[in-house]
């Protein structure tokens, strides 16, 4: 008979604990506790069958206690047979029962010692390493993790792990399992071939108050304990420069979290599941991706820069070019790369402040005999007419930027934060 570990309450609740597998426990139907002072994730429990004890780590805002020893948030203690765990404020007592025969007991002393060593090694993988808080970025670096010029990056949810419940989003911090059995050996193989394995994950629930940082940290440590591999984990906890698809986490890795080793992008890769794919993107009625935070849909690299292909981007004669396109569709980048270097006067509402100022600037440039490039959104005939009316006797062309709304939103999100950071740095430098 294999050994079993059961947490038992005086109210009749019984909770089974697997060997070496973390379980979050607190208020809920499993414990029959309704006391609001007891968090739903009050403690983390990890049973050690070899030692016949349970490691208890306190997570909730109110203290737990273990045989009279008060456990504050983040503190740990061992629950053994004959001891009592009070989940919160000396209330809701639980004891532990180990029953049956473990493999260690029925084996030789040498095998028992080896099993105990492996158990300690599993605990070491989980506990060794350190957490850092950098603004809205949480960073875990496992002890002994080698830095490398080759990075194997992975998203976590839906890529490395999935829910045990089968739901899209986890119902609790321990509602997870490794997605495929091939994942662990594949990651181990990458490490052996010189890659540094790094996880990048968005965890907005932390800033929204739906997920406490210490609960998330425990979940990450449990995942790494299960994988038994040294891995670095980046977690963005709020909107900003670190949240995917913004590249802040990657830049922090390159600049400050790789031991000074320069990363070779050509030898590195990233794997994620949020690619913005529509419903039924593959055979078998595949569900659509919940977002495109890991990758915007691939653009057609063979598409022409402009249409018709025999048109000239600029003219040797005086003219007015009026751009049309979403914010973030590439108007400014296109004009700065292809039009302004040819001597066109640049008219931009973000710079001048109002459409009236833009019209006046266009009028002045035309009187000076210069061609004009109007870099505004100009979404309707009325807004475009303001500039067409100024170009009496001067040819006027419209450049329509064809980036989709989704692509423009992506560009605004990624580059908007980077520009905001750039301008704030410029302001600090000027001060």
Average pLDDT of the segment spanning 10-23: 88
Please give the pLDDT value at position 427. 42
Helix or strand (DSSP H, E) at 176: none
CATH classification for the domain delimited by 320-405, as one of 3.40.50.300, 3.40.50.620, 3.30.750.24, 3.40.30.10: 3.40.50.300
Report residue 112: phi and psi, to 5°. Answer: -65, -40
For the chain, give the mean pLDDT.
81
Fold of 129-271: Rossmann fold (3.40.50)
Identify the CATH number of the domain defined by range 4-99: 2.60.200.20
Q: What whole-number distance in Å separates Cα of residue 254 and Cα of residue 258?
A: 6
Sign of CA dihedral 165, 169, 175, 179: positive
Domains 4-99 and 129-271 share a fold: no
pTM (whole model) above 0.75: no
Q: Are strands 69-71 and 91-99 parallel, antiparallel or unpaired?
A: unpaired
Tell me which DSSP letter residue 257 carries. Answer: S
* pLDDT, tens only, 275-296: 554 555 454 555 655 555 555 5
Please give the pLDDT value at position 291. 54
Average pLDDT of the segment spanning 387-401: 83
Q: What whole-number distance in Å separates Cα of residue 261 and Cα of residue 147?
A: 7
Q: What whole-number distance in Å separates Cα of residue 55 and Cα of residue 45?
A: 6
* pLDDT, tens only, 194-220: 999 999 999 999 999 888 888 899 899
* pLDDT, tens only, 54-97: 999 888 889 999 988 888 887 888 999 989 999 998 899 999 99
Instruction: Give the max Cα distance, the chain.
Output: 99
205: helix, strand or coil = coil
The answer, yes or no, to whether the previous bond of 104 is cis (omega within 30 of 0) is no
Q: Where are the domains of the chain?
A: 4-99, 129-271, 320-405
431 CB-contact burial (10 Å; exposed 0-12 / middle 13-18 / buried 19+)? exposed
Please give the pLDDT value at position 122. 42
* pLDDT, tens only, 222-241: 899 889 899 999 999 998 88
Q: What whole-number distance in Å separates Cα of residue 237 and Cα of residue 235?
A: 6
């Amino acid at each position: 008979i294999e050994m079993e570990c059961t947490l038992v309450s005086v109210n009749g609740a019984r909770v089974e604990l697997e060997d070496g597998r973390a379980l979050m426990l607190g208020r809920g139907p499993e414990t029959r506790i309704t006391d609001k002072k007891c968090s739903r994730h009050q403690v983390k429990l990890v049973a050690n069958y070899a030692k016949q004890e349970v490691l208890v780590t306190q997570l909730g805002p109110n203290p737990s206690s273990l045989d009279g020893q008060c456990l504050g948030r983040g503190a740990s203690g061992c629950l053994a047979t004959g001891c009592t765990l009070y989940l919160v404020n000396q209330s809701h007592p639980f004891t532990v029962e180990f029953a049956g025969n473990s493999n260690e007991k029925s084996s030789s002393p040498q095998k028992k010692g080896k099993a105990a060593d492996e158990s300690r090694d599993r605990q070491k993988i989980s506990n060794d390493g350190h957490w850092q808080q950098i603004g809205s970025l949480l960073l875990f670096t496992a002890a002994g993790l080698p830095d490398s010029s080759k990075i194997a990056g992975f998203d976590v949810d839906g890529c490395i792990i999935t829910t045990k419940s089968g739901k899209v989003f986890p119902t609790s911090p321990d509602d997870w399992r490794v997605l495929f059995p091939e994942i662990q050996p594949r990651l181990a193989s990458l490490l052996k071939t010189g890659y540094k394995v790094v996880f990048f994950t968005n965890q907005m629930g932390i800033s929204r108050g739906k997920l406490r940082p210490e609960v998330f940290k425990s979940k990450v440590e449990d995942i790494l304990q299960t994988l038994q591999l040294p891995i670095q984990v980046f977690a963005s906890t709020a909107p900003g420069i670190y949240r995917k698809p913004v590249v802040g986490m990657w830049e922090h890795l390159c600049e400050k979290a790789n031991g000074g080793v320069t990363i070779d992008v050509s030898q590195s890769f990233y794997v994620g599941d949020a690619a913005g794919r529509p419903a039924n993107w593959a055979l078998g009625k595949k569900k659509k991706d919940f977002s495109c935070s890991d990758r915007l849909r691939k653009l057609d690299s063979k598409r022409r820069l402009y249409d018709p292909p025999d048109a000239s981007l600029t003219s040797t004669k005086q003219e007015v070019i009026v751009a049309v396109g979403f914010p973030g569709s590439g108007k400014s980048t296109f004009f700065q790369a292809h039009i302004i270097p040819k001597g066109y006067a640049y008219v931009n509402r973000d710079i001048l402040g109002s459409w009236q100022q833009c019209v006046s600037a266009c009028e002045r440039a035309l009187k000076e005999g210069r061609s004009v490039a109007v870099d505004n959104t100009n979404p309707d005939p009325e807004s475009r007419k303001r500039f067409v009316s100024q170009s009496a006797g001067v040819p006027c062309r419209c450049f329509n930027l064809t980036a989709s709304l989704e692509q423009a939103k992506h560009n605004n999100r990624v580059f908007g934060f980077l520009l905001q950071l750039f301008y704030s740095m410029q302001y600090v430098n000027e001060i």
